[in-house]
Amino acid sequence: MVRNAHHVFLARGVERVGEATELNEGTFEWVALADVPELIAKGRIANSGSLVGLLHVLALSGPDARASRAE
């Protein structure tokens, strides 16, 4: 069971100004919400905490989530 608090940050209508950086916590990457289902299917997102948060966001976003792409 995952009982830890998890934080998912979703930004819409933003401008990318640089690469994601975090020196102590792992590898981070900017991705379009529309790309998330494919990343999950390919096993590139496999952490249960990340999956719960991202699947929640996708479920609440509806069909438009796959159509919108961040540049």
How far, in Å, CA of 2 to CA of 15, rounded?
33
Question: How far does CA 44 lie from the centroid of its chain?
Answer: 11
What pTM was computed for the model?
Answer: 0.62
Reported as a single tens digit per residue, the pLDDT across 9-67 is 777 788 878 776 777 766 677 788 889 999 999 999 888 878 888 888 889 887 665 55
* Two tokens, residue 63: 């069909």
Q: Three-state SS for 24?
A: coil
- Mean of pLDDT values over 1-13: 73
